[in-house]
A and B are shown apart, each in its own frame.
Chain A
């Protein structure tokens, strides 16, 4: 067990002090540990096998499909149309622009699994609009940064793919489990925006719209609804495998882009370039996670730790709260994906040994990743928004996002109290 602890320490030294990419460091420690426990020859042989098994994997291909789907959605204007529709539907309600921004983010998240991409897509349209109507910078930037985080919770989501592959759970079930918490969090964010706008001057009012205009504007949400139903519905009903669903979604987005004449060869190549680069990065993290997990399992550290914690005279839920607090703290100083990949090998066996539902726990984990995306100093979405609104000091964006972090914590609290919010849909489909 001690060797497992040394492995963890070495891993953090390599990642933090040597700035070795997370995937590389995990492979290095995993293979070195296996070499120590077995023999150098069998460790290297294991690594070769692991690399090929990850690369030649039908399930892993889903990562490329969903990333490409999000990249293409970025250029098709789906996000702009959804945002415009919601703005007309909300009309002259106080804070309607901020609420439409969050709703637009939620709608775009239904076709894109990346939070920074969601924040960038909606932020580039919504921020100038909100500022034109007199929204203060904190309210405007906070709404976009927080709304963008929905990208990783509302399926299709890269966060759930990450959890699903590392913990060997059904991606389809995880996607179904993310729908209701995603809607709940979007509503909580919208409530925050509404309350925020109530106490602000000027009145944060947009142009009024008639009932006819509101109904007509529903058309702008059609693309998102159809794509979401085909991809997530098809997967949930067992019509497609997750990989095929990703491809169908990509094909659908490409078709919409061609019909709207929004895609050129250059834009397509850009989307592919980003996808290829991200796939290379994610595959290395997966290979690393597998190698490191294998090593940790061989040391028996996660199981002994899980057994020890399960035997402690404290309520089970206290352990979950501790894990979530550690993730919240780590999310402030680490990249969200790195945080999950590094801690999951230890945390997940503990959660299983305590008898919690792994699907429910994964939803909580993805929500904590969301919190990590908007908590300073390394919250990725904050910097995406800072890139769009260059004249807004980063401190103002931090300030604007604080009420939304509180909303994330309320969502976590509700999920802890009522796990059915996450588990209802997967169980309903199973029945």
Chain B
């Protein structure tokens, strides 16, 4: 783990630690809620906390998976391509993915602003939904950054 973290640096550490802590919190919350339910005393709002807590986990984990190259690919054809063509294909793939998630990030940001304007809140705890949308938008922006970083490293490697 130390090796992989030193490779991906402080951003990677942040992307890994924040969702890890949220996940541990959710495990504790859900266990406490399950026990509470058996005793007839469930924790109010545990459903919403899990829902939006998971949104925080996803925000960071998609970027973390992008940074560590963990997204699932099928390379049975790719590995047989001639080297220059493989480079071009790899460049196009990363560029296309970065553009797509740039769009997703932008859309989530717009939706977040709209939720803020409409003062949208969760039904039980009254959590401000726009915050989670903006964090998710940030997560996808980080994914774009991770993809662009990999793209640049590839190009540097070529030079």
Contact = CB atoms under 8 A, between A and B. Distances in A.
A284 B71 contact: yes
Given A24-B71, A48-B108, A279-B58, A58 B27 contact: no
Given A239-B38, A273-B1, A22 B72 contact: yes
Pick from A31, A244, A248 the residue with the most CB of B within 10 Å. A244
Interface in B88-117: 89-90, 92-93, 96-97, 100-101, 103-104, 107-108, 110-111
Interface of A is mostly: helix
Interface in B113-152: 132-133, 136, 140
B75 A19 contact: yes
A16 B62 CA distance: 22
Interface string A297-339: 0000000000000000000000000000000000001110110
Contacts of A45: 107
B87 to A, nearest CB: 12
A254 B133 CA distance: 32
B34 A55 contact: no
A17 interface: yes
A247 interface: yes
A199 interface: no
A194 B136 CA distance: 53
A16 B108 contact: no
Interface string A247-260: 11011001000000
Nearest to B136: A55
B23 A68 contact: yes
Interface string A34-67: 0000000000110111011011111011001100
Given A49-B111, A68-B23, A269-B20, A16 B61 contact: no
Interface in A391-430: none
A138 interface: no
Interface in B68-85: 68, 70-78, 81
Given A61-B51, A276-B16, A280-B64, A68 B72 contact: no
Pick from B26, B38, B65, B90 the residue with the most CB of A within 10 Å. B65
Given A17-B77, A44-B103, A251 B31 contact: yes
Contacts of A335: 72, 74
A125 B58 CA distance: 34
Contact of A52 (B47, B75, B111): B111
5 contacts: A27-B100, A45-B107, A239-B37, A247-B34, A334-B76
Interface of A: 15-24, 27-28, 31, 44-45, 47-49, 51-52, 54-58, 60-61, 64-65, 68, 234, 239-240, 243-248, 250-251, 254, 266, 269-270, 272-273, 275-281, 283-285, 333-335, 337-338, 377-378
Interface of B: 1, 4, 15-16, 19-20, 23-24, 26-31, 33-34, 37-38, 47, 50-55, 57-66, 68, 70-78, 81, 89-90, 92-93, 96-97, 100-101, 103-104, 107-108, 110-111, 132-133, 136, 140
